[in-house]
A and B are shown apart, each in its own frame.
Chain A
Amino acid sequence: MEDVYLATSAKLFGICLRILRDRAEAEEVLQEVYMTVWRRADSFRPERASPITWLAAVARNRAIDRLRSRGPHSRRAPLGEALTAEDPRPLPDQALLANERLRRLYTCLDALEPERKALLREAFFGGVTYLELSSSHDVPLGTMKSWIRRSLLRLRECLDP
């Protein structure tokens, strides 16, 4: 288990840090992630996703859960910091080919309008709410919801034709 921790904790800690933007809280959530993995071992479906994807999903879920329990006005870093519409895609094309799921996701994201794709990425990496998004982009809440929901439906149609 210790070596599994060594093999996976850096990835999961990075995910928690990106969402929580607070090191101490990210450490607490990281611990909670491994405890959750332990307790909910029977919910892992190997046919659905790789173990790493599952671990990462648990990490995001716990980090966002912690974020939501903080309260609405307690974000430490300004919204939008490091979460611009730029596309920090560090993986070279060759590596993408090895990860079929990621390659297909990129293809389907690219099929969206650039602003919609940027919104989805901002939501995913930052764990921001509809309210925070509508506020930071200065659009009505209903409009933001509609944009994101439509984009998600289009994404699903593309990924599961």
Chain B
Amino acid sequence: MSSRTDGPLSPEEERSLLAAEFVLGVLDPAEWEAAQARLSSDPAFAEEVSAWEARLGPLADEVPPTPAPDAVWHRIAARLLVRDTRPAPLRTRQAGLWESLAFWRAFAGLATAASVALAIALAVLPAPREAQGPVLMAALAPAGSQGAFLISIGPGDALVAHPVSLDAPPTRVPELWLVRAEGDPLSLGVLAPGERTVATLPPQLSAGLREGATLAVTLEPPGGAPEGRPTGPIIAQGPLISR
């Protein structure tokens, strides 16, 4: 492929270059402001910016991390009305996060941001201790606002399910399903409503679990869906990713 850097550029190439300059940060203030505004009005430009952020972004790994003051977190928590569970100095406690219901309850009430918050959590947080080794994980985001769940499936078909938030009437229980391309959804079991569920999946159930498969949660009568088919509404769903 010959270099096109010397000849006149097509409009697409100009747009891509502008996006690159924007991401790099070399535009002057007026051009910067115009490009920033263009993000919302020009989807093709926004796509190019996304592409350049992905190309150049990894360079940011070189910047040495600098611990941020706790005060910043307290201000964020106040603005977002997140329950600030530790007004005292923040302590890192990466181990055991999955076991901490208080941590996951902090995600409750996230509404539209739940899915990205959970995706971030999946990416940065260690897997649960029951699932050391290659795991499949899913963040089941609210279909309405009734529930959000974090699921992990680890070696030995160990399933761990965390109800991040659940708004269910007392006559209903959450049931986890594997949504299949063909055929009825397959039940992976009833989840404990207020605490995490740890279970071992039988092999016939775990066979269909792979990256990209969709998990969903419905509300069912106590004991689960009577005939093994979902009867209640889907309250959360999401794809399995591998970690």
Query: Which A residues form the contact surface with B (CB < 8 A)?
Result: 1-15, 17-19, 27, 30-31, 34-35, 37-39, 41-46, 48-57, 60, 64-65, 68-69, 72, 88-91, 99, 101-102, 105, 120-121, 123-125, 127-131, 133, 148-150, 152-157, 159-161
Contacts and interface: CB of A to CB of B under 8 A. Distances in A.
A149 B21 contact: yes
22 contacts: A2-B103, A3-B93, A4-B120, A4-B125, A7-B94, A10-B65, A15-B60, A38-B80, A42-B112, A49-B57, A51-B116, A54-B53, A54-B57, A57-B60, A60-B25, A65-B32, A72-B29, A88-B62, A102-B61, A124-B56, A148-B26, A149-B5
Interface in B112-128: 112-113, 115-117, 119-121, 123-125
Contacts of A31: 72, 75-76, 79
Contact of B28 (A17, A38, A101, A129): A129
Interface stretch (B81-89, B146-154, B155-163): B81-89
Contact of B123 (A3, A13, A52, A154): A52
B65 to A, nearest CB: 4
Q: What 3 A-B pairs are tightest by C-beta distance, nearest first?
A: A10-B65, A102-B58, A41-B116
Contacts of A161: 1
A153 B13 contact: yes
Q: Which of A5, A19, A43, A90 has the most C-beta atoms of chain B within 10 angstroms of its own C-beta? A: A5
A14 B220 CA distance: 48
B103 A105 contact: no
A91 B62 contact: yes
B199 interface: no
Interface in B202-227: none
A153 B120 contact: no
B45 interface: no
Contact of B58 (A37, A53, A153): A53
B24 A2 contact: no
A56 B32 CA distance: 18
Nearest to B126: A7
A87 B131 CA distance: 39
Contacts, number: 206
Contacts of B86: 2
Nearest to B20: A152
B112 A153 contact: no
A129 B31 CA distance: 11
B165 interface: no
Contacts of A131: 28
B200 interface: no
Contact of A13 (B16, B56, B68, B124): B68
Nearest to B66: A14
B64 A4 contact: no
A112 B53 CA distance: 19
B27 A159 contact: no
B237 to A, nearest CB: 15
A41 B69 contact: no
Nearest to B17: A149
Nearest to A69: B29
Contacts of B62: 88-91, 125
Contacts of B25: 19, 60, 64, 123-124, 127-129
Contact of A34 (B3, B16, B28, B76): B76
Contacts of B59: 102, 105, 121, 124-125
A35 B24 CA distance: 22
Given A57-B57, A105-B55, A154 B29 contact: no
Q: Which of A9, A127, A150 has the most C-beta atoms of chain B within 10 angstroms of its own C-beta? A: A9
A88 B61 CA distance: 12
